[in-house]
Copies of this chain bind each other. A is one copy, B any other.
Amino acid sequence: MKPKYNIPCNIAQSLNIIGDRWTLLIIHEILNGNTMFNEIKKALNGISSNLLSERLRYLEEEGLIVSELYSQHPPRYSYNLTTSGRDLEHVFNALIVWGSNHLKKCYKRLIDPSTGDEVGIAYYSLKTGEMVHDIQVVEELTESRN
């Protein structure tokens, strides 16, 4: 079945869910308000129906989107993000910022709407809310038997 990364790392495990071709772009379109099958298909120049259909099904299984029946009789669904899908926004923003710095041609930028200043990625403490200038990745202790 699905070929998955068998690597003990958040990044690899996250990519097992959102790393397939088109997947992040599909979520991004839904985030941008394109909630219907054909809206998404039209926005994603080149994706085929069967693949879009399969990806949507998989993302729903994984809990990143929910499909809502908006017409009974020809059954028609609109696709919306769950919290976990919406939380990918920071990943999108990190990609937009990276792209604006390193792509030959940049299409989008992140700005502070109150000042117009361009913004970059930072980190803040969940406890205090203050910006944190130095960060560290720590390994979760593997809980052994007890």
Contacts and interface: CB of A to CB of B under 8 A. Distances in A.
* Max chain B Cβ within 10 angstroms of own Cβ: one of A13, A95, A99, A111: A95
Contacts of A109: 137-138, 140
B98 A111 contact: no
Interface footprint category on A: 35 or more
A112 interface: yes
A87 to B, nearest CB: 6
B7 A25 contact: yes
Contacts of A46: 5-7
19 contacts: A5-B25, A8-B107, A9-B108, A10-B106, A11-B24, A11-B25, A11-B99, A14-B103, A15-B24, A84-B101, A90-B98, A91-B98, A93-B94, A96-B137, A108-B140, A109-B140, A110-B123, A115-B125, A117-B132
